[in-house]
Amino acid sequence: MSNQHIKTPCIGRCSTIYGDLVCRGCKRFSHEIVGWNAYTEEEKRAVWVRLEQLLTQVMTAKVQVFDAGLLREQLLARQIRFVEGQSPYAWAYQLIARGARFIQQLEAYGVVLLPEFRNWSLPDLRDAIDQEFFLLSQAHYERYIAPGFLVERLR
């Protein structure tokens, strides 16, 4: 499963159907979700890159990937989906998001928590990462996307 091309960032927890402008699941903007199938490969890549950059920013503040090869091997062995071309920090997020309840030693996966997070449980860390990722996506939307929509509506 994990070596297949992932065609969309969707994780099946869409909150835009409830009116959110930023999805709490995949962190895409509502208009990106609606228009995804009509997007060109270049447009899709731009969304993937933004999501990866924001997620990597969050992850590098909480974990260190010390062995990307081992992390990749473990993801494949456990059939955890990840995007091959993305940063190992995005891979580490997939590991923590999918395995927070069963991972005993994160180091066995090529990842270590930074000192200030070593006393955190992985489920709590997963939730904190997800919340910060959402807040960054929301801030990006409010700073760069919403003002453009407001200008277009005023015309």
pLDDT in tens, 7-33: 889 888 888 777 789 999 999 999 999
Q: Hey, CA dihedral for 45, 95, 75, 78, is it positive or negative?
A: negative
pTM: 0.89
- The letter for the amino acid at 50 is R
- Are 76 and 99 in contact, with CB atoms under 8 Å apart? no
pLDDT in tens, 110-127: 999 999 999 999 999 999
Structure confidence at residue 151 as a pLDDT band (50, 70, 90): low
